[in-house]
Chain A
């Protein structure tokens, strides 16, 4: 009986706490609307770009709402989630299939509250970050989208399994995980820092990929930007940790990475991040890039999963030149090196500085320093491309011809030669990645 009483008391406490939390969530004020110069378009906005277009790019709407090879913003891009596939919607002003008939209120509600025309949105739509945006900014984006030619393109039906196909269920998820709050500037910090925080958070929603998620698929606040795996790729630790994050990157490296997709002596953006740079970051003004850097430098250092420590001067690379490799550590199976020397060295070069283009440089790249080879496997299987200033840099995929064994062998070789790491890539793991989402 005593036990029962105790248990009953515990339940009562849990219920009370939960009710209090829900009440807090529901009643908590969203805060005042953010204002320029923190919100809004860049202060150094170029003449040929409207405020709405700039904000649309900064919020990177195109990356998700454009199908591969399709019309920008016409939607249809599939996102494979563990419990099914959902499709990005048509954002062109088509009245039937797009946002042509949407009121301002409805649009703002979708972006900031995650409530769309059919009910609750799934948090693949980053309303959890967008919620910090100002109403003015959202309406500027809406105005820009409405200036585009309408495209009649119905969005395919989501194919989610029960219970995830019940949109009303998301209301509970929101209660538990969604904190609807506008961005609040930190008065102790500069305008530039606050602008950077606004760009990284409400607009650029960096954390949606770079912050590990908890069991409820929500961002873990204590690991903000500490790095995780997304859609089979790696979103690296971008906290200011000097070993595991970007703490030891120079401003030039950060600037190069954010505005061109390549950090000299460090990584080139690939996969989903290449899309972010292509669609969004390369269009940010110099002032905004500097603001973003100022903010990122201040993000609390976190060690994350501590997988990736980048060796920028691996011995084998130091010993190599443009034509020949230095002495590689003896490998039991030369298969990986053989594939590399045939199919890869022509662009990457043995000393890893890139033969034709700096984008092909491998020295200092996070991907070739991650012993799990997570991103490396994806790049090898599917290739990657990035278009900067109208010029496309492209690595072709080898998944069509390379077996799982081949991919594992070349990945482990690359990790050893360019990262001085003992790669742990296995053929079985490659098989899994091959079957998994293409991002």
Chain B
């Protein structure tokens, strides 16, 4: 039996330990905010945090999160940085089709947790693994800077 927490609640799973976390979250835990995009960790749509670290859940075996803590887009707003990022996304009118944005936001939150005032190079380094086919990138960049400014102001 694999036990772990998702967004603070305990979960237990005794199915295929090799099933990627993505499908556990979406199909078993009904947390569909985390998206399937490519299945080979090249698009970032499935990004979640495991013990605070951004991870592509499409290639993460559920067994590997045994005893660990998973956070998804559904509770991003519970974290001050997550809330700021989501607000910046709304204010900057970032999403178009919206499908990749859960992953974009989870990557952006991880970036700001790592470095509260990222440069453009930092944004390239941390965000280029997340594909947006609508190419909302300029707005993602602006929204991250805007969230960083608010973060600095609040600090």
Contact = CB atoms under 8 A, between A and B. Distances in A.
Direct contact of A and B (CB under 8 A): yes
Interface of A: 321-325, 338, 341-343, 345-347, 350, 355-357, 390-391, 394, 396
Interface of B: 18, 40-42, 44, 53-56, 59-61, 110-111, 114-115, 118, 122, 124-126, 128-129
Contact of A346 (B18, B41, B115): B41
Contacts of A355: 41, 54-56
Contact of B41 (A325, A347, A350, A391): A347
A347 B39 CA distance: 12
Contacts, number: 59
A345 B56 contact: no
A347 B47 CA distance: 12
A343, A347, A394, most chain B CB atoms within 10 A: A347
Contacts of A396: 40, 42
A396 B39 CA distance: 11
A341 B54 CA distance: 15
A323 B128 contact: no
Contacts of B59: 347, 356-357
A221 to B, nearest CB: 44
Contacts of A350: 125
- Which 3 pairs of residues, A with B, have the shortest CB-CB distance? A346-B129, A356-B59, A342-B128
Nearest to B118: A324
A274 B53 CA distance: 29
B54 A322 contact: yes
12 contacts: A323-B125, A324-B115, A324-B118, A324-B122, A324-B125, A341-B129, A343-B42, A345-B125, A345-B128, A347-B56, A356-B41, A357-B60
Given A346-B129, A356-B59, A322 B53 contact: yes
Given A322-B54, A346-B56, A394 B40 contact: yes
Contacts of A338: 124, 128
Given A323-B114, A343-B42, A356 B60 contact: yes
A363 B55 CA distance: 18
A355 B49 CA distance: 11
Contacts of A325: 125
A141 B61 CA distance: 36
Given A323-B54, A347-B41, A396-B40, A391 B18 contact: yes
Contacts of B44: 346
A345 B129 contact: yes
Contacts of A391: 18, 61
Given A341-B124, A346-B129, A357-B59, A324 B111 contact: yes
Nearest to A343: B42
B18, B60, B115, B128, most chain A CB atoms within 10 A: B128
Nearest to A390: B18
B103 to A, nearest CB: 10
A342 B124 CA distance: 8
Given A321-B114, A323-B111, A324-B111, A342 B129 contact: yes
A65 B126 CA distance: 44
A390 B18 CA distance: 9
Contact of A341 (B61, B111, B128): B128
A324 B40 contact: no
B41, B56, B60, B111, most chain A CB atoms within 10 A: B41
A346 B42 contact: yes
Contacts of B125: 323-325, 341, 345, 350
B37 to A, nearest CB: 11
A355 B51 CA distance: 12
B152 to A, nearest CB: 18
Nearest to A357: B59
B135 to A, nearest CB: 14
Given A323-B53, A345-B129, 10 more contacts: A322-B53, A323-B54, A323-B115, A323-B125, A324-B114, A324-B122, A324-B126, A346-B129, A357-B60, A394-B40
A387 to B, nearest CB: 12
A323 B126 contact: yes
